[in-house]
């Protein structure tokens, strides 16, 4: 099972505003600590309930910079908002970044959800699911080297092609657990993600939801004629360093020793999860050391 972390590219309580030096140090520590991947979200900002704004870096710029200073660790998007970029541009950017990184991109794409940023920058909020479905269809075909003519409700392409073509099949990740998204994962996905979990054997709602959604994913893949083993299962897990005071929004976060974290990794692996993506708090080099110790125990 692979294990990765979300990058510290947003303002964080106790850490402050994002800085390139912090992102760089965090990613290099993750690579040195034997982690498999780092992941970047795709948002302009987060507007909190009180109206204040949480600042964030731009996804592709950060990943492109990391591609040039790392040489092993996978670079994932969790996830690109489908309507922030024209599908052809998104595919072109993905092909370029994959080449720059030496074939290390995992292209996660989602429908988007945070209305304040859409409204602030003039992006449409209507029919996001349908726009998302068109984007997936177009991007997959372009990345597969096809010449694409497409007359959709939101996008029109005429003999579009990526030149140069991608040198490999760039894996596309579909995120979400609704029936429509699971169907799209079966149709277009090389990987699938669901987020917001803690211990996998938690007896409350989250533990039950994990097992239920994994079963529903298998059913959706079979309905699309896919072998379930051909789609990588990725799960986002919230983890907080033992010294951190938990916020109610962190639940159901894991908080424990490296030995306990290694046991959690074993439990997820036993469920057939292929890739864990940790939302670590605080996002510091010291926290990477804590995670790396657990990984070493898990892989011993």
For 93, list phi and psi in degrees, rounded to 5: -65, -40
Alpha carbon 56 to chain centroid distance?
16
Q: What is the pLDDT along the chain (300 residues), one digit of tens a residue?
A: 999 999 999 988 767 778 999 999 999 999 999 999 999 999 999 999 899 999 999 999 999 999 999 999 999 999 999 999 999 999 999 999 999 999 999 999 999 999 999 999 999 999 999 999 999 999 999 999 999 999 999 999 999 999 999 999 999 999 999 999 999 999 999 999 999 999 987 766 566 789 899 999 999 999 999 999 999 999 999 999 998 888 887 878 999 999 999 999 999 999 999 999 999 999 999 999 999 999 999 999
How many whole angstroms separate alpha carbon 91 and alpha carbon 50? 36
Distance from C-alpha of 107 to C-alpha of 227, rounded to nearest angstrom: 21
167 by DSSP, 3-state: which? coil
Residues contacting residue 52 through CB under 8 Å, at least 6 positions apart: none
Query: Which stretch of DSSP H or E encloses residue 151?
Result: strand 148-151
pLDDT at 205: 58
CA distance 257 to 290: 8
**Quick check: 173 and 193 in contact, CB under 8 A?**
yes
Predicted local distance difference test score (pLDDT) of residue 204: 63
The residues, any chain, with a CB within 8 Å of residue 120's CB and separated by 6 or more, are: 44, 45
Query: Selecting from 1.20.1090.10, 3.40.190.10, 3.20.20.30, 3.10.520.10, what CATH number does the domain 2-298 have?
Result: 3.20.20.30
Residues contacting residue 268 through CB under 8 Å, at least 6 positions apart: 1, 200, 235, 237, 276
């Amino acid at each position: 099972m692979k294990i990765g972390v979300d990058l510290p590219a947003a303002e964080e309580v106790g850490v402050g505003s994002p800085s390139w030096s912090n992102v760089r140090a965090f990613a290099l520590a993750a690579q040195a600590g034997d982690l498999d991947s780092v992941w970047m979200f795709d948002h302009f900002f987060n507007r909190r309930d009180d109206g204040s704004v949480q600042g964030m870096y731009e996804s592709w710029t950060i990943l492109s910079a990391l591609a040039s200073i790392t040489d092993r660790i996978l670079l994932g998007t969790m996830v690109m908002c489908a309507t922030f970029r024209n599908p052809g541009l998104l595919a072109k950017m993905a092909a370029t970044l994959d080449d720059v990184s030496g074939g290390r991109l995992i292209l996660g794409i989602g429908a988007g959800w945070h209305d304040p940023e859409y409204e602030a920058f003039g992006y449409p909020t209507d029919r996001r699911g349908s726009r998302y479905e068109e984007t997936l269809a177009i991007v997959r075909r372009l990345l597969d080297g096809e010449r694409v003519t497409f007359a959709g409700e939101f996008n029109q392409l005429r003999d579009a092609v990526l030149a140069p073509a991608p040198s490999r099949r760039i894996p596309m990740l579909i995120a979400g657990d609704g029936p429509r998204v699971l169907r799209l994962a079966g149709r277009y996905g090389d990987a699938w993600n669901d987020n917001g979990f803690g211990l996998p054997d938690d007896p409350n709602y989250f533990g039950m939801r994990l097992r239920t959604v994994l079963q529903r994913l298998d059913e959706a893949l079979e309905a699309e004629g896919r072998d379930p083993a051909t789609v990588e299962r990725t799960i986002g897990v919230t983890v907080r360093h033992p010294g951190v005071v938990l916020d109610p929004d962190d639940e159901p976060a894991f908080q424990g020793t490296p030995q306990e974290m290694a046991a959690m990794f074993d439990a997820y692996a036993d469920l057939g999860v292929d890739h864990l993506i940790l939302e670590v708090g605080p996002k510091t080099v010291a926290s990477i050391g804590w995670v790396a110790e657990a990984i070493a125990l898990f892989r011993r």
